[in-house]
Structure 1
């Protein structure tokens, strides 16, 4: 081996050692030595010493890594290099005395962020008490903030906890999870700020100030983990990558755990053959008459597949599946037979976040054959039928019906298959990483002089994972919309936040969609920073000839880029969607040119 190749290998080892500072604020590494060798197996082939070129022993490798950590962590400027808010990053680490220990740096950054969020919760309640008594919208905004900021702390905590069982074979999954959770933490903090829109006084600006530091720290953590993820794809260390790939292949061959097997059975079986944990029936033939009563019977901190069978009927109730009530399954008798409905809305004084008829906050939730509805109507403005603030959620053969802001894909990874979503303005919106396969987006008749937008994606930071992906879907008009004269303007979407990201691919677009395809939000806002793309669509509205010429719009993306937004890649769906038994295509789909779902 020549000296040039030696240097490349040594540089690679240094880069991997740099994980200790790249992930400081991202909270995902508790100690570097485990990255490069397993105590039971000895050193990983291919990691060489800098001088002699031989394989390092575990002891020498440990010494080498500790030296690299020490060198890397002596400068907070080096640690904070990948971040957008370098001053905040450096200040958060300035008080750490044991600078050689990466655990102390992780703890310092984590503690600073959490303390600042908890401070914002406490101070806002004190500062806004008088205003909240006078303005119900401020009171509602405070309630929203308390909920979402506590969830944001939870996200930071689970990033930190991930270090406790760090394993080399799962390094990619760990990085992906942490990116999702830090993106969620950012979204939740922004949701608090958004809740103060249209309130009186300067409460919104005050809250924005209170959340400035925790927002910047969370952003810095996300920048670090993103930088690290990029390194995983670019740094080549032969022995490490060989060993890692070998172990990953072994892991992929394992059978799914009992919960996954049970979920597969219940999603592929005839509903009548499934033995649920609880039956809900309005006629009294089940254990409970309401969904909320059924949820109250679920064990706290549930973490096993728990099936609630909801018999046919219209359930007039507001349902929240709370945080940490995980792996809940709602199983209905059909989306037009089993329906959950409400009518909370913005015009009558409820903030958008709180208008949801059904809110999902427990990870691993699944719904099949259910209808979700907000019946407030177009004149009531924002009125959410379903809000999803939970990771790894799945919806199969569901109907989600409202007008403005129908489906709030709020945060984390989400998958929708064979669903129908109806609405008018921004009716699929939010900042989750949400993939829709074989779904219908049906545009309803808006109020007079209103335009309709199918999507309004809300990615706030350029490193966030959020985006809306429509794959092999159909964008269709409701019959009442077709009869309008003059016709309403209909667009694929508009940018709710600065880095809005939406991909429409392999889908059928009917001819009622405006030739320009996409609408601005407010003047030139986000037109350069958004990321919109169309790929291999069909139908009379699919031509991109007359589309917008914004800098952020990608008229022609490659097959390789489109592949990055398929669910197997974008939301790691092979790991959690595939075992569920829901119909699922990991990559690009086989689509006939004539196919649509009208």
Structure 2
């Protein structure tokens, strides 16, 4: 009898304890959310809203605070909420660099993309091979080259390989790159997710060298195909592989006022997702662009869901008369919502970045 009474009482207590644990867990999550949200609102120096709060200097000769970029990043406290500038001297930094998710508000400033470079040569797989990985929100880079040298032959007799070997992998929201360069052959730039802005950047590769599910604007960038230079045996290249997967997914790649150049022949993109979206506006397309322009890839017979747009472009590769029949045309009002910075910046985060020009 005691056992039969004891069991229901224990179960009742267990239920109450479980309920209390759920409440405590919920409170913890709410507090954590507000803590992270606050941390992600990066604070500018009160004396001058365009200045960073602190500068860390990286110089391989030992004249700075650190000799490596990774050591400089490691020195920044977790959940930092003030803009910290890492000023990187000219040089070829042979290191693999990772910014973890709990270190937002970092401004990496090099001496110029021709003077400051971060180089590595991993090729294990897409998730591990990136020379530079950025996971937190609110990251800015200026005047730096990011290179994965594995696929890029260093001499006429070097073995040519076309394999995934990333230069950069970007996870965080509100990330911006100014006057940077990205070098690779396959999967150069993994624009994974989140809202990103690339201004006056150079990006090169042969296969899917701008790919992912990012919601990004590429403005005044040079996009350079190198398939004909480094992998002439490869029949056709692919510039983009955008991974939008549903009709309500806000992601997409927008290229405006860009120049598409290169060696060999390439598609402007292929569908990495069932609702892949790429818009090219007022850009110059070289004769490297194949006449058909776009590839449905795994989504043949579902092309109606793909949104590929070319508007007001010029150059020998801009003739759309032989493009795929499912190339979209958007009205002026539809097009405008993608061309305006508000597509990636409704709350004005770009204006709040530390001064980069």
Is contact 1:567-1:573 (8 Å) kept? no
Partners in 2 of 1:277 and 1:262 — Cα distance?
Answer: 14
Q: 1:376 aligns with which of 147, 150, 175?
A: 150
Partner of 1:234: none
Partner of 1:264: 50
Q: Which secondary structure does the structure 2 equivalent of 1:562 belong to?
A: helix
Aligned residue runs from structure 1 range 93-132, under 5 A:
none
Q: 1:263 to 1:408 in 2, by over 3 A?
A: farther
Partner of 2:84: 306
Q: 1:569 aligns with which of 342, 351, 355?
A: 342
Partner of 2:168: 386
Is 2:223 the partner of 1:441?
yes
Partners in 2 of 1:493 and 1:442 — Cα distance?
Answer: 13
Partners in 1 of 2:85 and 2:115 — Cα distance?
Answer: 18
Aligned residue runs from structure 1 range 470-549, under 5 A:
470-477=255-262, 481=263, 488-522=264-298, 524=300, 526-549=302-325
1:494 shift after superposition: 0.6
Aligned residue runs from structure 1 range 296-445, under 5 A:
296-345=74-123, 350-377=124-151, 379-445=161-227
1:582 shift after superposition: 5.0
Partners in 2 of 1:494 and 1:261 — Cα distance?
Answer: 48
* 1:233-272 Cα distance to aligned partner (Å, 9 max, x none): xxxxxxxxxxxxxxxxxxxxxxx96359857346xxxxxx
Partner of 2:19: none
Q: Which secondary structure does the structure 2 equivalent of 1:563 belong to?
A: helix
Partners in 2 of 1:351 and 1:474 — Cα distance?
Answer: 30
1:455 shift after superposition: 0.5
* 1:164-212 Cα distance to aligned partner (Å, 9 max, x none): 99xxxxxxxxxxxxxxxxxxxxxxxxxxxxxxxxxxxxxxxxxxxxxxx
Is contact 1:453-1:494 (8 Å) kept? yes
Is contact 1:510-1:539 (8 Å) kept? yes
Partners in 2 of 1:374 and 1:424 — Cα distance?
Answer: 13
Partners in 2 of 1:529 and 1:506 — Cα distance?
Answer: 24
Q: TM-score normalized by structure 1?
A: 0.50
Q: Which secondary structure does the structure 1 equivalent of 2:66 belong to?
A: coil
Partners in 2 of 1:470 and 1:294 — Cα distance?
Answer: 33
Aligned residue runs from structure 1 range 41-56, under 5 A:
none
Partner of 1:225: none
Q: 1:579 to 1:161 in 2, by over 3 A?
A: closer
Q: Going by fraction, where is strand more abundant, 1 or 2?
A: 2
Is 2:334 the partner of 1:558?
no
Partners in 2 of 1:410 and 1:425 — Cα distance?
Answer: 16
Is contact 1:499-1:529 (8 Å) kept? yes
Is contact 2:44-2:51 (8 Å) kept? no
Is 2:237 the partner of 1:452?
yes
Is contact 2:177-2:201 (8 Å) kept? yes
* 1:460-510 Cα distance to aligned partner (Å, 9 max, x none): 222211111101111011xxx2xxxxxx43111010111111111111111
Is 2:58 the partner of 1:280?
yes
Q: Which secondary structure does the structure 1 equivalent of 2:348 belong to?
A: helix
Partners in 1 of 2:49 and 2:293 — Cα distance?
Answer: 39
Partner of 2:16: none
Q: 1:439 to 1:408 in 2, by over 3 A?
A: same
Partners in 2 of 1:489 and 1:308 — Cα distance?
Answer: 39
1:451 shift after superposition: 1.0
Is contact 2:144-2:181 (8 Å) kept? yes
Partner of 2:18: none
Partners in 2 of 1:311 and 1:572 — Cα distance?
Answer: 31
User: Paired residues, what number?
Assistant: 318
Partners in 2 of 1:263 and 1:453 — Cα distance?
Answer: 41
Q: Which secondary structure does the structure 1 equivalent of 2:192 belong to?
A: strand
Is contact 2:271-2:299 (8 Å) kept? no
Q: 1:468 aligns with which of 253, 256, 270?
A: 253
Partners in 2 of 1:540 and 1:549 — Cα distance?
Answer: 19
1:538 shift after superposition: 1.7
Partners in 2 of 1:400 and 1:544 — Cα distance?
Answer: 28
Partners in 1 of 2:54 and 2:224 — Cα distance?
Answer: 32
Is contact 2:270-2:296 (8 Å) kept? yes
Q: 1:526 to 1:293 in 2, by over 3 A?
A: farther
Q: For the aligned residues, what is the CA RMSD?
A: 2.9
